[in-house]
């Protein structure tokens, strides 16, 4: 069993009611986004089903194939449930929309009173699900899973991830839990509130934190991938960082104002310096180097300001178009191990 530690609890006052009544639908939903994870699917399905079977809970596993280029969808389509208490839902998006969209699709599909997001690479151990449910039944609406260690990741990635959280939490009024990935439990009411959020440019770690509610945090040791390679290169991580910062803070826009004030102050100081040298000492200041320096400085400030404004205007453009966050091409339901499935095809 992976190491697990309860480290923090929500500061919200008042007692937390226990979760003793369910909606009549699936008690627990497990959402697993999949992108080119053909080497991990069988092991992932086996371990998740083993955990759920041992719990004897009514549950559903929702696999979201995010436009994989390998045979991930073919494997997902053939998955069956080992128990009548566990239903399997596989959704095939029409193309690769990104993990944030895939998770959003899973949240819309989920019917459970408690919803857990889990990666198919098994870096986040499914064996921790029972402990997460224990905290949920104590009355917590969100159970964040904080990584105590990150095996299989370079020191540079760990350092840049830590730096990102410090930057975004400094810039944003919303505090996003540091070193907490997408692996977490959400209560039904939290999921419903997230599903109501209209934005198309989604930074899910921020959206998970935004609703608030009663929260607690469990600390665990993250495992290395069981197979394959990470799909997150540094270009994608930088893009995600920009998405997060621009989605939850307008403070970068103030950089233009600060840079403008600083440039103006520097220009005034330089003018006083030139006048001082010319009037008192009769020394002429070299014109060409000074002029080039000033032009380059002003040009840099202007380009920086335009770029920052462009990031926000670009996001307004994306939101204004109103395109759907994702399109579903195929959906398959397999309720039990007898092989009976219900399939549908739809776009929307």
Q: What phi and psi values does residue 343 have, to the nearest 5 degrees?
A: -120, 150
- How high is the pLDDT of residue 185? 93
pLDDT at 337: 47
Establish how many alpha carbons lie within 13 A of residue 123's alpha carbon, considering only the half-sphere containing its beta carbon: 23
**Tell me, what's the pLDDT at 287?**
63
- Cα 103 to Cα 18: distance, rounded to the nearest angstrom: 27
- Which pLDDT value is given to residue 186? 93
Q: Residue 231 has what pLDDT?
A: 56
pLDDT of residue 289: 65
pLDDT score for 31: 93
| Global pTM value | 0.72
Classify residue 256 by its DSSP letter: H
| pLDDT for position 298 | 73
pLDDT value of residue 152: 58
Given a contact cutoff of 8 angstroms between Cβ atoms, the answer to whether 31 and 241 are in contact is no
Rounded Cα–Cα distance for residues 253 and 264 (Å) = 18
Distance CA 189, CA 23 (A): 11
**In terms of Cα–Cα distance, which of 165, 202, 201, 195 is closest to 181?**
165
What is the rounded radius of gyration, in angstroms, for the C-alpha atoms of the chain?
25
Average pLDDT of adjacent 10-residue blocks, the chain of 348 residues:
51 51 66 88 88 84 89 85 85 88 90 90 88 88 83 67 71 75 89 86 82 86 70 63 68 73 73 72 64 72 76 76 84 61 45
The rounded distance, in Å, linking the Cα atoms of 345 and 331 is 6
The pLDDT of residue 260: 72
Q: DSSP string spanning 126-176?
A: GGGHHHHHHHHHTT-SEEEEEEEEETT--HHHHHHHHHHHHHHHHH-SS-P
């Amino acid at each position: 069993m992976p190491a697990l530690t309860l480290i923090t609890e929500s500061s919200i006052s008042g007692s937390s009611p226990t979760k003793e009544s369910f909606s009549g639908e699936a008690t627990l939903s497990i959402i697993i986004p999949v992108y080119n994870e053909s080497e991990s699917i069988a092991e992932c399905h086996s371990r998740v089903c083993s955990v759920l079977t041992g719990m004897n809970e009514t549950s559903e596993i929702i696999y979201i194939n995010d436009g994989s280029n390998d045979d991930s969808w073919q494997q997902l389509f053939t998955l069956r449930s080992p128990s009548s208490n566990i239903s399997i839902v596989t959704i095939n998006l029409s193309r690769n929309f990104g993990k944030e969209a895939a998770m959003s699709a899973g949240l819309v599909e989920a019917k459970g009173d408690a919803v857990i997001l889990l990666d198919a690479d098994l870096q986040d151990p499914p064996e921790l699900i029972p402990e997460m449910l224990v905290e949920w039944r104590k009355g917590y609406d969100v159970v964040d899973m904080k990584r105590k260690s990150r095996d299989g990741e370079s020191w540079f990635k760990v350092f840049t991830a830590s730096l990102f959280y410090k930057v975004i939490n400094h810039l944003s009024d919303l505090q996003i839990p540091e070193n907490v990935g997408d692996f977490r439990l959400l209560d039904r009411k939290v999921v419903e509130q997230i599903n109501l959020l209209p934005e198309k440019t989604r930074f899910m770690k921020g959206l998970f934190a935004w609703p608030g509610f009663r929260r607690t945090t469990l600390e665990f040791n993250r495992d290395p991938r069981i197979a394959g390679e990470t799909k997150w290169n540094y270009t994608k991580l930088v893009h995600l960082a920009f998405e997060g910062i621009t989605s939850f803070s307008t403070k970068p826009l103030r950089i233009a104002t600060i840079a403008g004030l600083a440039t103006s102050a520097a220009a005034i100081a330089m003018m006083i310096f030139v006048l001082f040298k010319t009037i008192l000492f009769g020394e002429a200041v070299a014109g060409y180097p000074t002029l080039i320096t000033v032009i380059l400085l002003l040009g840099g400030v202007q380009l920086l300001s335009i770029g920052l404004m462009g990031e926000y205007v670009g996001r307004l453009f994306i939101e204004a178009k109103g395109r759907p966050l994702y399109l579903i091409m195929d959906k398959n339901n397999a309720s039990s191990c007898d092989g009976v499935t219900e399939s549908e095809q739809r776009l929307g």
